[in-house]
Amino acid sequence: MSTLLVGIDADDTLWHSESHFAVTEKQFTDLVRPWIDDVEAKQLLLDQERMNLHVFGYGVKGFTLSMIETAIAVSEGQISLEAISEIVGWGKKMLQHPVELLPEVEDTLIQLTANYRLVLITKGDLFHQESKIAESGVAGLFERVEILTEKSPEQYAAILNRCHVGPDQFVMVGNSLRSDVLPVVELGGQGVHIPFELTWGHEKVDREGLTSKWHHLDKFGELPALLDQIAQTRSNSNEPLTGL
């Protein structure tokens, strides 16, 4: 067993999430097309979501309320109450959508548990995240589950503290450079970026000027080989372990 602690993101790393948001966003742009074109509708919805983030936090319920606000605003009060009910229904449907694991996830996680301590690190709505984790069938493969309101360097540092490891013993894996990779690299840990085909506007980062280094993988199934390489490099290094 390596001393590496491996943090793994959930939404769009272990299972589909953004694709459900995209389906709903498409329904939303259809709904408001009488008043506004699709590109502008998406932009105004994203603006509304961002404006509401400090009040609602992340998650489907806040997204649903932001859709309602945007629909009323762009229609200048002309949209029907049936449409509002429909939006609430989309939110409920998203919250109850079955969890769909991404390819290679289950087998890869099982393989990783033989050599690494795994911790699931996700952000967003506590109730929805717990529901998905329980339903996923892979929760038992993780030493612990951490659900955060924001993936900041401070929140990652608190997790490392609870797990009694230093940043040099920590590797974080996820689809978001902003949330999964950059804050961990800033802290002195290593980040593994496995992009998903879709990225929410708020999670996009301008790569210009980014000088930090991180690992990049195309597939979740490539993770064991990379981690073995990281663990090997660490054990060959002369640097003393700084973990507690």
Site residues, a second copy (CB under 8 A): 52, 55-59, 61-62, 64-65, 68-69, 72, 77, 79, 81-82, 84-85, 88, 91-92, 95-96, 125-128, 130, 147, 149
For the chain, give me the number of helices (H) and strands (E)?
9, 6
Structure tokens belonging to residue 235: 């054990």
What's the CA angle centered on 229, arms 224 and 233, to 5 degrees?
A: 150
Closest distance of CB 207 from a second copy, Å: 29
Q: From CA 73, how far away is CA 67, in angstroms rounded?
A: 10
Residue type, 169: Q
Q: Which is nearer to a second copy, 127 or 204 (CB)?
A: 127
Q: Which is nearer to a second copy, 85 or 236 (CB)?
A: 85
Q: Which is nearer to a second copy, 68 or 230 (CB)?
A: 68
Q: Which is nearer to a second copy, 110 or 158 (CB)?
A: 158
Closest among 152, 138, 170, 145 to 243, alpha carbons compared: 170
Closest distance of CB 15 from a second copy, Å: 18
Q: What is the DSSP code (8-state) at residue 171?
A: E
Q: Which is nearer to a second copy, 39 or 55 (CB)?
A: 55
Q: Which is nearer to a second copy, 117 or 215 (CB)?
A: 117
Closest distance of CB 135 from a second copy, Å: 13
Q: Are 163 and 144 in contact (CB under 8 A)?
A: yes
Q: From CA 114, how far away is CA 181, in angstroms rounded?
A: 24
Q: How far is CA 165 from CA 5, 150, 157, 160, in A?
A: 8, 21, 10, 5
Closest distance of CB 78 from a second copy, Å: 8
Closest distance of CB 64 from a second copy, Å: 6
Closest distance of CB 134 from a second copy, Å: 10
